[in-house]
Structure 1
């Protein structure tokens, strides 16, 4: 059995969280968007641009998680980009609320969670992937 360096466990956790979070986002967003009238009623005052953004970004979450698991530098940039776009959509959502539009309070919680999760994933990926020398792989220290 190959021992893994202690520094690779944060990447494995981040990758797993990213993929699982992405799959759950795709399922929940897809249900809300394509689940018919019952799903639409359950969604309440969902904000369409936020709902579509979250659904589509779920695919990018999965891709980022796979990239992180493989130790790819592009996954770091994708994770940072996801955190930034989530923040931008959250700000637009705030402006939407400020204008007096109807919304679900659970969307505020969900967007807060997304932002915290993706900032955390981006930090972990940046610390553990970009700090390695070019050509190194995540598991090279174990060989």
Structure 2
């Protein structure tokens, strides 16, 4: 199986869903925002605007582009930083949702794996 195609396709879907869900909470009906619960705006903005990068990285991974490895690593690093900020806000007493914490951990794990698979796929054709 070509894991890079699977992970790249998943990144494209994940990015598209991230754009849609983040956009709905930011600019959609008030009921959607209320349904989101205790949002943490910096995390929400980051997630909404990282979606296009997810899609771009996914396309690059599918086509084994060298820049996709770098972009995947940058995405993982950015998520780790935002997750760190989120944890600091939690510890400082900000209102938050457990599902946001879980989603950020899942995002981080996904992009760590995606960066590794992108690197391996790129090395297959370079080596």
TM bucket normalised to smaller: over 0.9
Q: What 5-or-longer segments of structure 2 have no aligned partner?
A: none
> What TM-score, normalized by structure 2, do the two folds share?
0.95
Whether 1:21 and 2:20 are equivalent positions in the alignment is no
In the other structure, the counterpart of 1:96 is 89
Normalized per residue, the structure richer in helix is 2
In the other structure, the counterpart of 1:47 is 40
Q: Please give the secondary structure, in 1, of the residue aligned with 2:22.
A: helix
Pairs aligned (count): 127
- Report if the CA contact (8 A) 1:25-1:54 is conserved: yes
Q: Computing the radius of gyration over CA atoms, which structure comes out larger, 1 or 2? A: 1
Moved over 6 A (4+): none
Q: Please give the secondary structure, in 2, of the residue aligned with 1:130.
A: helix
Instruction: Report which stretch shifted further, 125-134 or 57-66.
Output: 125-134
Among candidates 37, 54, 66, match of residue 30 of structure 2: 37
Whether 1:121 and 2:121 are equivalent positions in the alignment is no
In the other structure, the counterpart of 1:3 is none
Q: Deviations over 1:100-121 (max 9, x none)?
A: 1101111011101101111110
In the other structure, the counterpart of 2:50 is 57
Q: Please give the secondary structure, in 1, of the residue aligned with 2:126.
A: coil
Q: Deviations over 1:16-36 (max 9, x none)?
A: 011010011111111111112
For 2:117 and 2:62, the matched residues in 1 are separated by: 12
For 2:50 and 2:38, the matched residues in 1 are separated by: 20
> What TM-score, normalized by structure 1, do the two folds share?
0.85
For 1:70 and 1:126, the matched residues in 2 are separated by: 12
